[in-house]
């Protein structure tokens, strides 16, 4: 047997030191008990709350999409909506959108959320672990969210809230709208390969962005008449780097956005600020993201307000019943109820992109009419 060379000994010592250091920093704590029941889309649709007779005001949902640190733009969108008097009844979020959405739905004001976001140390949310399933447990994120939301259960939030995760066994999106908001957000933001999947009695949760990047359909299933969706991930091209990592990230973005596009098109208004991610951990970049989201939301206001003025389903049903009754009594041909307000184009979505280098413009249709 050949003796080990000094270089080999040094390498072995370095590896041993690294393993020891990681083990010391990592946590082996037992998983927290999961007190949350996931619901698949058909389950949510079956339990949707019906409109009450005479209820004219539409039910408004704010849908916040995933996108990592680009989620700072969601703070600007919420501020713009609040300043314009637009109060969502339902908040649904995926990954980063679930983080912001949980704080907002719990009753915190835009100022309070922005203060919390600016002051949190991202390093404090990292909890390394020794696991073949991921590098971080995500328990620190869960505890932080539970603290931010004052220990309330999701059912106690003043606004209806749901975080969207992916059920690893079925490969389907699930809504987490009960129990601990921390666990719901932890599951929604469990990036495969980075975070350990969140275990529950029926399987495991991973990041909701895999199956529902901007969860418009869950918002609609929860009873929303008007869905305001925010996409912070797909509007930016993601750069033109040709390194192996850059190419892989660009391909992953393309795949994710192609999968998400049909669902995003089902929103009534889609706000899509262009967020660059060169150094979003820096405070000035975070402020720029907030401002970009704010301006994009301002540009969308006319589209949002026009949708809010459209008759609610309850009002349309009453109008239809009245027309049928009058038609029968007068023996005249039956007329159809007035159609809901729509936007021109191949979908109902208004895409309102905005960046810091150009003034906000009116919402433009997602595609020209054909």
- pLDDT tens across 276-299, in order? 766 656 778 889 999 999 999 999
Instruction: Give the model's pLDDT for residue 128.
Output: 83
User: Angle 186-200-253 (CA atoms, 0-180°, nearest 5)?
Assistant: 45
- pLDDT for the residue numbered 313: 56
- Give the pLDDT score at 55: 66
Return the number of other C-beta atoms located less than 10 Å from residue 125's C-beta: 17
User: Across all residues in the chain, what is the average pLDDT?
Assistant: 79
pLDDT band with cut points at 50, 70 and 90 for residue 178: very high
Domain count of the chain?
Answer: 1
Whether 333 is in a domain gets the answer: no
pLDDT in tens, 247-273: 887 788 788 999 999 999 999 999 999
Q: Is 207 a catalytic residue?
A: yes
| Domain region containing 129 | 39-46+58-310
Q: What is the pTM of this model?
A: 0.77
Pick from 29-38, 148-157, 347-356: least confident: 347-356
Which of the following is catalytic: 95, 180, 212, 366?
95
What 128-133 contacts at long range (C-beta under 8 Å, 24+ apart), as own/partner pairs, is 128/22, 128/25, 128/26, 128/27, 129/26, 129/27, 129/28, 129/196, 130/22, 130/23, 130/26, 130/28, 131/196, 133/196, 133/197
Q: What's the confidence (pLDDT) of residue 31?
A: 52
In a domain, 295, yes or no: yes
In a domain, 353, yes or no: no
Backbone angles phi, psi at 346, to 5 degrees: -80, -10
Structure tokens at 268: 């009534």
Please give the share of the chain, as a percent, with pLDDT higher than 90: 54
Per annotation, catalytic residue among 89, 127, 177, 207 = 207
Q: How far apart are CA 134 and CA 272, in angstroms?
A: 31
Q: Residue 5 is inside which H or E element, if any?
A: none
User: Is the residue at 9 inside a domain?
Assistant: no
Three-state secondary-structure class, residue 362? coil
Has 133 been annotated as catalytic? no
E strand residue ranges, 133-179: 160-167, 172-176
> What's the alpha-carbon Rg for the chain, to the nearest Å?
23
Spatial CA neighbour of 49 closest among 200, 201, 220: 220
Go through the chain and tell me how many residues it has.
Answer: 370
- Parallel, antiparallel or unpaired: strands 226-230 and 60-64: parallel
| pLDDT, tens only, 82-138 | 999 999 999 999 999 999 999 999 999 999 999 999 888 888 888 888 888 788 999
pLDDT > 70: percent of the chain: 70
Residue 157 lies in a domain: yes
- Specify the pLDDT at position 33: 52
Domain harbouring 225, CATH code? 3.40.1090.10
Helical spans, DSSP H, in the chain: 6-25, 41-46, 72-83, 96-105, 110-119, 139-148, 181-188, 216-221, 244-264, 283-308, 313-330
**Domain annotation covers residue 249:** yes
**3-state DSSP call for residue 62?**
strand
Q: What contacts 226, CB < 8 A, 6 or more positions away?
A: 58, 59, 60, 61, 268, 269, 304, 307, 308, 310
Q: How confident is the model at residue 279, as a pLDDT?
A: 60
| pLDDT for position 57 | 85
Does the residue 285 lie in any domain?
yes
pLDDT of res. 170: 96
In a domain, 129, yes or no: yes
Binning pLDDT at 50, 70 and 90, where does residue 162 land?
very high
Please, are residues 142 and 176 in contact by the beta-carbon 8 Å criterion? no
Q: Is the pLDDT of residue 179 over 60?
A: yes
Q: How far is CA 204 from the centre of its chain?
A: 19
The predicted pLDDT at position 362 comes to 35
The answer, yes or no, to whether residue 348 has pLDDT greater than 80, is no
Q: How does residue 149 score in pLDDT terms, banded at 50, 70 and 90? A: very high
Residue 69 DSSP class: G
- For residue 233, the model assigns a pLDDT of 93
Cβ proximity of 263 and 346 under 8 Å: no
Region 183-200: mean pLDDT is 95
Give pLDDT tens digits for 8-63.
434 444 333 333 333 344 444 445 556 789 999 999 999 887 665 556 789 999 99
Query: Residues 96-121, buried b or exposed e (16+ Cβ, 10 A)?
Result: bbbbbbbbbbbebebeebbeebeeee
Please state, as a whole number, how many other Cβ atoms lie within 10 Å of the Cβ of residue 327. 13
pLDDT on residue 361: 38
């Amino acid at each position: 047997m050949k003796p080990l060379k000094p270089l080999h000994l040094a390498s072995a010592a370095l590896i041993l030191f690294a393993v020891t250091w990681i083990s010391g920093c990592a946590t082996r704590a037992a998983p927290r008990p999961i007190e949350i029941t996931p619901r698949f889309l058909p389950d949510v649709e079956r339990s949707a709350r019906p409109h009450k007779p005479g209820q004219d005001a539409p039910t408004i949902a704010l849908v916040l999409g995933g996108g990592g640190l680009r989620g700072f733009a969601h703070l600007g969108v919420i501020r713009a909506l609040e300043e314009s008097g637009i109060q969502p009844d339902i908040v649904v979020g995926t990954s980063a959108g679930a983080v912001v959405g949980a704080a907002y739905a719990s009753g915190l004001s835009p100022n309070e959320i922005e203060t919390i976001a600016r002051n949190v140390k991202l390093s404090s949310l990292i909890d390394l672990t020794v696991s073949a399933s991921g590098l971080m447990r995500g328990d620190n994120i869960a505890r932080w969210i539970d603290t931010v939301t004052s220990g309330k259960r999701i059912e106690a939030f003043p606004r209806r809230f749901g975080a969207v995760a992916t059920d690893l066994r079925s490969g389907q999106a699930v809504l987490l709208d009960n129990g601990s908001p921390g666990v719901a957000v932890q599951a929604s933001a469990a990036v495969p390969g980075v975070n350990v999947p969140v275990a529950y009695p029926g399987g495991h949760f991973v990041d909701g962005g895999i199956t529902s990047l901007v969860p418009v359909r869950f918002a609609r299933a929860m009873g929303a008449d008007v869905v305001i969706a925010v996409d912070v991930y797909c509007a930016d091209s993601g750069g033109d780097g040709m390194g192996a990592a850059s190419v892989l990230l660009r391909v992953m973005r393309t795949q994710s956005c192609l999968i998400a596009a049909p669902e995003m098109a089902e929103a009534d208004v889609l706000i899509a600020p262009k967020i660059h991610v060169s150094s979003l951990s820096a405070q000035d970049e975070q402020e720029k993201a907030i401002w970009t989201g704010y301006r994009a939301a301002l540009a969308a206001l006319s589209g949002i307000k026009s949708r809010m003025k459209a008759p609610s389903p309850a009002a349309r049903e009453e109008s239809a019943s009245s027309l049928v009754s009058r038609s029968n009594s007068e023996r005249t041909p039956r007329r159809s109820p007035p159609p809901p307000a729509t936007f021109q184009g191949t979908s109902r979505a208004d895409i309102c992109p905005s960046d810091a280098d150009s003034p906000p413009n009116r919402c433009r249709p997602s595609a020209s009419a054909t």
